[in-house]
Structure 1
Amino acid sequence: MFWTNVKYLDAHILKQNEQLKYENPTEENKLKIKALQLERKDLQAQYRKVIKKMKTYDAGQEIVQEKLKEKEINKEKTQDIPS
């Protein structure tokens, strides 16, 4: 019975300590949180830029492939025409 109460009290104290950490963060922790949030925003912006470049690159590759196919078709057409 005694150990059960101690374990319960221990768990309760740990829970209260965790709540205090989140409810009353120190200035140092606030600055760390702010820095991490800014870093996250920066990484998200970089990610969006990379995705946009990839889409642009893919679209450019498709255009090049289409033009190459058109050139091949035109070559074949000119070769097929008897002189």
Structure 2
Amino acid sequence: MGRRQVFTAWARAVAEISAELEFLARRLRGWTLLRSIRTGESCGSEEVTTGPDEVQRKAVEALSSPAVLTLLAETG
């Protein structure tokens, strides 16, 4: 099983466990979004711009994707 598959399986398991715990569910969505940005997976611009502030800050610090950086500069 590849890294992406392992992460996806982990994220699903944690999502099921934490579905009623809003903080954990929100944090998991943030981690999943950040991972998608880092790995170049498809994610919508609305997802990025409405994502948690912490994820946007981490994305700016860790990424060199011109598209994501431009999007956050314009709307973040």
TM-score normalised per structure 1: 0.27
| Structure with more relative contact order (C-alpha pairs < 8 Å, separation 6 or more) | 2
TM-score (norm 2): 0.29
Point out the structure with max Rg over C-alpha: 1
- Structure number having the greater helix percentage: 1
